């Protein structure tokens, strides 16, 4: 019995290997990421180290460019475009070009492109990659997708929006292709807990309707940063017991949500942090009166002019 208890407390070999690899991951020091060379060395040392080390190397990407470069060099080339190196395709993608890309892409759990950084891959190459992948499993473990603006990755977006997504950040515009991905995201990523949607221009009534419909489909939201919502969507999020953080940009002139009525039962029961940017003080007042949460710790109200409000400020 004593030996059995000791064994239950012992670490498995695979756990020890993973801990060794974790110690070799990049560290943040004095404002910069220090990327040690030990992980690639570990990956080549022995087979037992290869998968854990590669999982950590490929865990988080800021662009799909490194994955494209996994395909044969005869397929692609880098050119300077507006001061940035951009990948172009030299020829069509063949099935034989994909195995190495897929070998690494299944390890990616976070795809987080910084705002204002271009993707590094020409749109034609992204479109070609989407067509070549077809029904292949591209990033099945992806749990965090942060991509702004979304139009850069739009041809490939359905490959990225999977059932494991928990954090979703997208900058949209008022065009039909951009907004049309929201119903797909709602259906494919039902377990999203952190949602940030921004707009590159002022929200229109039709835009608000599409965004609101999508938000009503998410029931596990913990953090929500959003432009205008209609009344049904506001009612929906007010009933979410999981919601702790809300960042709302409300243009009352467009949304028709000025006259908020008190809702029955507890509203925003777990809300801890609230930020409202609004062009109508009356809306802010009535919205705050709706909140029954006793856990509210942070409240920020920003008064903005209707003509000056830019939904990109959300987030």
Query: How many other CB atoms are there within 10 angstroms of residue 44's CB atom?
Result: 10
Q: Collect all residues with Cβ–Cβ distance below 8 Å to 277 and sequence separation of at least 6.
A: 248, 249, 250, 302, 304, 309, 313, 314
What kind and span of H or E run contains 202?
Answer: none
Go through the domains of the chain in sequence order and give each one's CATH number: 58-160 (no CATH), 161-309 (3.80.10.10)
Distance CA 171, CA 153 (A): 11
Q: For residue 213, how far is the Cα from the chain centroid?
A: 19
Please give the angle made by the CA atoms of 164, 166 and 169, to the nearest 5 degrees: 120
The per-residue pLDDT string of the chain (315 residues; one tens digit each, 9 = 90 and over) reads 445 444 445 555 555 445 554 555 554 444 444 455 555 555 556 565 667 778 888 889 989 999 999 999 999 999 988 778 899 999 999 999 999 999 999 999 999 887 666 778 999 999 999 999 987 889 999 999 998 777 888 889 999 999 999 999 998 887 888 889 999 999 999 999 999 998 877 778 888 899 999 999 999 999 999 988 888 999 999 999 999 999 998 866 555 555 666 667 789 999 999 999 888 888 888 888 888 888 899 999 887 775 544 444 444
Please give the full DSSP string across 291-304, using - where no structure is assigned.
Answer: ---S---EEEEEE-
Instruction: Name the E strands within 57-212.
Output: 60-61, 76-81, 84-89, 110-112, 144-147, 167-172, 194-199
Residue range 77-121, pLDDT digits in tens: 999 887 788 999 999 999 999 999 999 999 999 998 876 667 789
Inter-axis angle of helices 47-57 and 38-45, to 10 degrees? Answer: 150
Q: Considering just the CA atoms, what is the radius of gyration of the chain in Å?
A: 23
């Amino acid at each position: 019995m004593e030996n059995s208890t000791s064994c239950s407390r012992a670490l498995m070999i695979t756990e020890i290997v993973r801990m060794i690899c974790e110690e070799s991951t990049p560290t943040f020091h004095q404002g910069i990421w220090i990327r040690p060379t030990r992980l690639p060395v570990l990956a080549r040392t022995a087979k037992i180290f290869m998968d854990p080390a590669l999982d950590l190397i490929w865990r988080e990407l800021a662009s799909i460019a490194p994955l494209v470069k996994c395909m044969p060099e005869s397929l692609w080339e880098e050119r300077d475009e507006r001061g940035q190196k951009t990948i172009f395709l030299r020829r069509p993608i063949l099935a034989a070009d994909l195995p190495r890309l897929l070998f690494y892409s299944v390890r990616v759990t976070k795809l987080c492109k910084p705002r204002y950084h271009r993707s590094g891959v020409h749109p034609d190459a992204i479109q070609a990659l989407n067509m070549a992948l077809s029904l292949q499993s591209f990033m099945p473990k992806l749990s965090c997708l942060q991509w702004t603006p979304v139009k850069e990755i739009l041809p490939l977006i359905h490959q990225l929006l999977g059932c494991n997504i928990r954090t979703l950040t997208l900058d949209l515009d008022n065009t039909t292709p951009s907004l049309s991905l929201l119903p797909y995201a709602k259906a494919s990523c039902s377990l999203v807990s952190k949602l940030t949607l921004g707009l590159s221009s002022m929200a229109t009534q039709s835009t608000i309707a599409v965004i609101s419909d999508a938000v009503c489909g998410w029931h596990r939201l913990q953090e929500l940063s959003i432009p205008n919502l209609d009344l049904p969507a506001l009612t929906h999020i007010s009933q979410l017991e999981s919601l702790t953080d809300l960042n709302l940009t409300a243009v009352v002139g467009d949304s028709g949500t000025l006259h908020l009525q008190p809702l029955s039962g507890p509203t925003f029961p777990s809300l801890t942090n609230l930020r409202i940017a609004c062009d109508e003080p009356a809306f802010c007042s009535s919205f705050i009166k709706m909140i029954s949460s006793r856990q509210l710790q942070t409240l920020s109200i920003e008064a903005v002019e209707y003509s000056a409000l830019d939904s990109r400020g959300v987030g």
